[in-house]
């Protein structure tokens, strides 16, 4: 991670195919394409990759979450349970539909705490959205049990976890709907792009129409298509899909590199008694996109990160004061700083954020260090890096 580090001839060929025929839009202009349909080809590849019956490409991972929820009927006044540790896009995508994000604590998986999820369910709860952060997963059996018990949706945001698996199933394919991002810093990238996956044909058809202004995509005359319901524009372009088509074919290559680098770092840090690792549920396999570990307290974390910086160890950070990924600094959400009026349902529904205690999440995030795994590192570079990391961490105690 990220896939752009290894751009090569395959990506150039796919993009040049699109430029040569001149059709950059994924729909229409059939006669000009010379048989090139990059988005359709990528969807077919992703069906195999994600072991899913249906794939709908969209313009981003954020769009994927909104389209997935909308396709299953989530909307005004509905509550969607989500974690405190994620990207801001999670609550943005929910609120765009007029729904209410209900933030709950994480556990040592760095994903949703099932007990916190159960406690947060109300008659308005329509979906549980587990965000498979930093290449790994939450306790999927427990979350699925809760969703089934209450007859609500289980949606997987697997944007950061492509290539991870749980009991042999790709992350994203376990819930009712799965969401992926292919932005510039993901394991496979389109530059900008995303996907909704599902085995539910109705949800797929809804996602297909909703993401393109409600077009039904029946026949081969775009101007004659009908609009069964309202939709919006979340289309991916053929150029973006072309890059993604090249990258998804290389996913096994990327995952092998990620897991090699991940294993070297984990093996090295395992010798330090004060270092512990995130819990991966039994049957789960991380993608290797990130390497996460815990230290005893925030003071030690800060000391180690300063040592990393001084020793040239990059792409490692702590999320506790990060305003992109953790509830603590999401003041624009807590204060509802919006360019336009927000509905009373959402405003009232978010009142809980003024008093909600997320100290259980603080306990995990404050002690965590997360390191991006680069695809461009050589094995020796990773081994040298691991030696430096161990030295810095030991010196901090």
Task: Write out pLDDT tens, residues 112-138.
Answer: 999 999 999 999 999 999 999 999 999
Residues 17-39, mean pLDDT to the nearest whole number? 94
Instruction: Give the percent of the chain with pLDDT over 90.
Output: 99
Burial 260-289 (b: 16+ CB within 10 A, else e): ebbebbbebbeebeebeebebbeebbbbbb
Averaged pLDDT for residues 223-238: 97
For residue 313 the two structure tokens come to 């160890």
Q: Does CATH place domain 252-395 in 3.30.70.940?
A: no
pLDDT at 389: 98
CB proximity list for 164: less than 8 A, separation 6 or greater: 132, 135, 136, 137, 158, 170, 171, 284, 285, 286, 287
> Looking up tokens 């609120």, which residue turns up?
95
Q: What is the mean pLDDT of the chain?
A: 97
Parts of the chain belonging to CATH 3.40.640.10: 3-250
- Of the candidates 186, 344, 374, 391, the residue annotated as catalytic is 186
Those residues whose C-beta lies under 8 Å from the C-beta of residue 289, and which sit 6 or more positions away, are 1, 134, 135, 160, 161, 162, 163, 187, 258, 372, 373
**CATH 3.90.1150.10 region(s) of the chain?**
252-395
- pLDDT band of 194, cuts 50, 70, 90: very high
Residue 186 annotated to the active site: yes
pLDDT number for residue 137:
98
CATH architecture of 3-250: 3-Layer(aba) Sandwich (3.40)
Please state the rounded mean pLDDT for residues 373-387. Answer: 98
Q: Are strands 290-294 and 177-181 parallel, antiparallel or unpaired?
A: unpaired
Alpha carbons 365 and 85: distance in angstroms, whole number:
8
- 273 Cβ neighbours under 8 A, 6+ residues apart: none
Instruction: Enumerate the H helices of 50-153 as residue ranges.
Output: 61-71, 89-95, 114-120, 140-150
Query: Which band of pLDDT confidence, cut at 50, 70 and 90, is reported for residue 104?
Result: very high
pLDDT at 1: 84
């Amino acid at each position: 991670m990220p896939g752009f580090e290894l751009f090569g001839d395959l990506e150039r060929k796919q993009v040049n195919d699109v430029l040569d025929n001149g059709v950059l839009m994924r729909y229409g202009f059939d006669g000009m394409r010379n048989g090139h349909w990059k988005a359709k080809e990528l969807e077919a590849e992703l069906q195999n990759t994600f072991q899913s019956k249906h794939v709908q490409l969209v313009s981003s991972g954020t769009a994927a979450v909104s389209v997935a929820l909308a396709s299953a009927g989530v909307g005004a006044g509905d509550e969607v349970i989500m974690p405190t540790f994620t990207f801001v896009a999670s609550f943005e995508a929910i609120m765009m539909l007029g729904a209410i994000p209900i933030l709950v604590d994480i556990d040592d998986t760095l994903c949703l705490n099932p007990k916190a999820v159960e406690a947060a369910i109300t008659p308005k709860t329509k979906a549980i959205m587990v965000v498979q952060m930093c290449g790994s997963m939450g306790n999927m059996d427990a979350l699925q049990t809760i969703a089934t018990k209450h007859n609500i949706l289980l949606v997987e945001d697997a944007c950061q976890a492509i290539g991870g698996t749980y009991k042999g199933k790709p992350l994203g394919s376990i819930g009712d709907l799965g969401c992926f991002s292919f932005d510039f810093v993901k394991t496979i990238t389109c530059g900008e792009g995303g996907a909704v996956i599902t085995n539910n044909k109705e949800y797929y058809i809804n996602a297909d129409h909703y993401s393109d202004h409600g077009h039904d995509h029946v026949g081969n005359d775009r101007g004659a298509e009908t609009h069964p319901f309202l939709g919006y524009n979340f289309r991916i372009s053929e150029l973006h899909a072309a890059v993604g088509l090249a990258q998804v074919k290389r996913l096994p290559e990327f995952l092998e590199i990620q897991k090699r680098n991940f294993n070297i770092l984990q093996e090295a840090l395992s010798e330090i008694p004060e270092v512990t690792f995130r819990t991966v549920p039994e049957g789960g396999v991380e993608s290797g996109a990130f390497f996460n570990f815990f230290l005893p307290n925030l003071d030690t974390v800060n000391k180690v990160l300063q040592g990393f910086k001084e020793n040239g160890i990059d792409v490692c950070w702590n999320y506790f004061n990060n305003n992109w990924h953790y509830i603590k600094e999401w003041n624009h959400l807590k204060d509802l700083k919006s360019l336009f009026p927000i509905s009373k349902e959402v405003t009232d529904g978010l009142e809980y954020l003024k008093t909600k205690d997320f100290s259980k999440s603080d306990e995990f995030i404050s002690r965590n260090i997360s390191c991006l795994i680069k695809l461009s590192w050589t094995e020796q570079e990773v081994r040298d890096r691991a030696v430096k990391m161990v030295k810095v961490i030991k010196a901090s105690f």
